[in-house]
A and B are shown apart, each in its own frame.
Chain A
Amino acid sequence: MRRATLFAGLIAGFSTLAMNAAQAVEIEYWQYVFDSRVKAMDQLIENFEKANPDITVKQTTFPYADYQTRVIAAKMGGQGPDVMQLFYGWLDKFVAGGLLQPLPTDAFPHDKIESEFFPIVSAMKRGEDYYGLPTAVRSLALFYNKKLFTEAGLDPANPPKTLDEFVAAAEKATKRDAAGNLIVAGSTLDMAGQDHQWWREVLVRQFGGQPYTDGDRKVAYNTEAGEKALKFYTDLQTEKKVGLAGFMDEGQAAFRAGMAAMTIDGTFRLGAFKSIEGFEWGVTELPANADGTRSNYASYFANGISATTSGEKLEASKKFLAYISSPEAMDVWLKTVGELPARRTAAMTDANLADPIYGPFLKGLEYARTTMFVDEAAQRQTTIDMANRVLLEGQSVKDSLAQAAAAEQAIIDAAAPK
């Protein structure tokens, strides 16, 4: 009798153990290594596991340069993450490669996504399906050096609001030595930095054109508007002489060193600029054109669910993805990483909008565009080359623009699915 009880107890004990083992689901999350992003994710995972004791999340990270290759190689090897981070510009490749599954509509209804997130989230939509949701987004703004502004007789509390004011301020702030060498650039010129995004999505539109049509599959900037936009940009060096491409090697380096009064850069630069001690700097919205037209370029990393994830891992992944794109997660991300919340309500709080640093970036998000690159590095290169042909080889703006448009169209066409 006693033996039987013992036996029954043992069986009961084993079965609860087995039950527990079956209930504890482990899912794997992948992102690239960036200290603050990893820390933020660690915190989110901790919060998530507390709320969902039956799910554990394992975070795996890879250096940025390897990240895409790792994800793709893992897929070939048949073992990858359940939830993964990806740049919005990689989506075509990831979808074509069968790496992602459409977000299940029961957990992520489209009308909710469309009403709650910033419209740039549409870059994660292919056909009728969304393939990922961002936690945070980045936009561009104009950084300015308050010390250099004061020295040049400009009001540091009143940074340029229009392109004309921007050029005027840059002209005033530019300093040269007796031999004519640039000592302080009024504005940085760095196509390889964020200027190519500024030119493409902002300047071209402000001069009355549009960079692309047909879902960014047709280059449309080879027009008079595009020409004006490129001339405006190259004139900063050739006519107005307020900057020099390659000055101090990189635009952000020139600004950090206090040798450039203004630079256009993104939220991701805040971390690097926060350690500047030699001077105070401010942020303002990208300058509008004379009619008040504004534009901005926004980009983001989204999180998607692997195509091979199914069953209870899929259920756990859905829960995890919902959590990391929740307003609470976005708040953690803003505080830890400094990137802007991807949901309108989480972003456009009075406190955030009043923030002297986040405010201008957030305002930019309202009218920001997202370029649907097929090969960001290659397309960026065509824009860099376009400016270089004018600045270094003296090619006419019109010819250089036409050449760039043809080259970029060729890149886009080559990537089109056959």
Chain B
Amino acid sequence: MSVTADQQGAAVSRPGATFWERRSMRTKRLVWVWSFLALPILFYSVIRFYPTIEAFWLSLTNWDLLKPPQFIGLANYEKLFADPQFWKVFKNTFAYLLVGTPISLLLSFVIAYHLDRVRFMHGLIRGLYFLPYLTTAAAMAWVWRWFYQPAPIGVINNALGTLGIPQQPFIRSVDQALPSIMLTAIWAGLGFQIIIFMAGLRSIPNTFYEAARIDGLGEWAILRKITLPLLKPTTVFLVVFSSIGFLRIFDQVYNMTTNDPGGPLGSTKPLVLMIYQTAFSSYAMGYAAAQTVVLFTILLFVSLLQLWILREKK
């Protein structure tokens, strides 16, 4: 069956020069390129750009899914900025960002820097660091949720107990819950950052190091004068990537505190979780859209700021 179909296909394309065949190679290539590009562009316009623009409009309405949206001006934003819950969530979000990003980058750089010099079981160690990144965030969060339990159930508290350190409430505490969750988020993303850092380290030509050593530079000077400056593109990428990751943290928080979403008294609640609850539990779509616009603005601002700070100085 398929053989005959092929033969027919071949027969059809043979007679005479068709419109398509008369086109130049360049035109043909352009048509091909654009027909391939058109699909993702169309896809993105429909599922990304259009809803994004729509969200800006919705944030000015009182849409609750049921009644047609009514324009209410900036009322959602006024309500948002007057809501103490929003400021708490805002603070939490920036805590994830401002503490999580530097710690995770420093940690992954130190590990990558040393791992780069380790020959013994290099692949295995690298694999072990990368493993958490491959794990589903939800599954990981649930395991950690049980790690943090009080003794005798929680592994961490058990270990503390044997060392004679008092029990810690971890995710059941208003003070410790956020660092506890941040720790799992850092741990989960570490493997990816290590791999990227190592790739960056490997791309620095060895001759630079050799020349520096011949000139008698110490290890510390080499790190400061050669490794770090040449690693800058990698660092910029990771700073932006990791910041965006922390600004929209959700999986870990939601899964580690599903029965009281956002931790005791909202102590771990990030902006994304607040948006989720406003939209899909209270169905206040307009209000949720306003929160999304605020998150979008923060993300945009933070990313641009970082790009500007870490820009190439010429």
A179 to B160 CA separation, bound complex (whole angstroms)? 12
CB-defined contacts of A96 to chain B, threshold 8 Å: 66-67
Given contacts A93-B66, A248-B153, A377-B282, 12 further A-B contacts (CB under 8 A): A72-B65, A75-B66, A191-B260, A192-B260, A375-B282, A384-B260, A385-B265, A388-B260, A392-B169, A392-B173, A392-B265, A393-B174
CB of A179 within 8 A of CB of B265, answer no
CB-defined contacts of A98 to chain B, threshold 8 Å: 66
Number of A positions contacting B (CB below 8 A): 38
CB of A192 within 8 A of CB of B152, answer no
Q: List 22 A-B pairs, Cβ < 8 Å.
A: A65-B280, A72-B283, A93-B66, A97-B65, A97-B66, A181-B152, A181-B161, A181-B167, A192-B259, A192-B260, A244-B150, A245-B172, A246-B172, A248-B149, A248-B153, A384-B260, A385-B265, A388-B264, A392-B169, A392-B173, A392-B174, A392-B265
A101 at interface, CB cutoff 8 A: no
CB-defined contacts of A72 to chain B, threshold 8 Å: 65-66, 283
CB-defined contacts of B34 to chain A, threshold 8 Å: none
CB of A69 within 8 A of CB of B65, answer yes
A99 to B173 CA separation, bound complex (whole angstroms)? 43
CB-defined contacts of B153 to chain A, threshold 8 Å: 248
CB of A183 within 8 A of CB of B265, answer no
> In chain A, what residue has the closest Cβ to B279?
A69
CB of A388 within 8 A of CB of B265, answer yes
A17 at interface, CB cutoff 8 A: no
CB-defined contacts of B145 to chain A, threshold 8 Å: 249
A28 at interface, CB cutoff 8 A: no
CB of A392 within 8 A of CB of B149, answer no
CB of A392 within 8 A of CB of B264, answer yes
A388 to B260 CA separation, bound complex (whole angstroms)? 10
Interface residues of A in 356-380 (CB under 8 A from B): 375, 377-378
A96 to B68 CA separation, bound complex (whole angstroms)? 12
B151 at interface, CB cutoff 8 A: yes
Q: How distant is A408 from chain B, measured CB to nearest CB, in Å?
A: 14
A97 to B67 CA separation, bound complex (whole angstroms)? 6
Interface string of B138-154 (1 = CB under 8 A from A): 00000001100111110
A223 at interface, CB cutoff 8 A: no
CB of A190 within 8 A of CB of B259, answer yes
A193 at interface, CB cutoff 8 A: yes
> In chain B, what residue has the closest Cβ to A72?
B65
A244 to B151 CA separation, bound complex (whole angstroms)? 12
A247 at interface, CB cutoff 8 A: yes
CB of B65 within 8 A of CB of A377, answer no
User: Which of A69, A181, A192, A249 sits near B151, CB closer than 8 Å?
Assistant: A181
A75 to B66 CA separation, bound complex (whole angstroms)? 8
Binding site for B on A (CB under 8 A): 65, 68-69, 72-73, 75-76, 93, 96-99, 177, 179, 181-183, 190-193, 244-250, 375, 377-378, 381, 384-385, 388-389, 392-393
A190 to B167 CA separation, bound complex (whole angstroms)? 21
Number of B positions contacting A (CB below 8 A): 28
Main secondary structure of the interface of B (DSSP, over half): loop
CB of A179 within 8 A of CB of B149, answer no
> In chain B, what residue has the closest Cβ to A393?
B174
A416 to B141 CA separation, bound complex (whole angstroms)? 38
Of listed A68, A249, A378, A388, residue having the most chain B CB within 10 A: A249
CB-defined contacts of A190 to chain B, threshold 8 Å: 259
CB-defined contacts of A250 to chain B, threshold 8 Å: 259
CB of A181 within 8 A of CB of B150, answer yes
CB-defined contacts of B146 to chain A, threshold 8 Å: 249
CB-defined contacts of A69 to chain B, threshold 8 Å: 65, 280, 283
CB-defined contacts of A177 to chain B, threshold 8 Å: 151-152
Q: How distant is A387 from chain B, measured CB to nearest CB, in Å?
A: 10
Interface residues of B in 259-312 (CB under 8 A from A): 259-260, 264-266, 277, 280-283
Given A97-B67, A193-B259, A246-B172, A393 and B152 touching (CB < 8 A)? Answer: no
Given A181-B150, A249-B146, A377 and B277 touching (CB < 8 A)? Answer: yes
Q: How distant is A78 from chain B, measured CB to nearest CB, in Å?
A: 13
CB-defined contacts of B150 to chain A, threshold 8 Å: 181-182, 244, 246-247
Q: How distant is B172 from chain A, measured CB to nearest CB, in Å?
A: 4
A127 to B200 CA separation, bound complex (whole angstroms)? 70
> In chain A, what residue has the closest Cβ to B264?
A388
Q: How distant is A98 from chain B, measured CB to nearest CB, in Å?
A: 8
Interface residues of B in 127-172 (CB under 8 A from A): 145-146, 149-153, 161, 167, 169, 171-172
Q: How distant is A345 from chain B, measured CB to nearest CB, in Å?
A: 37
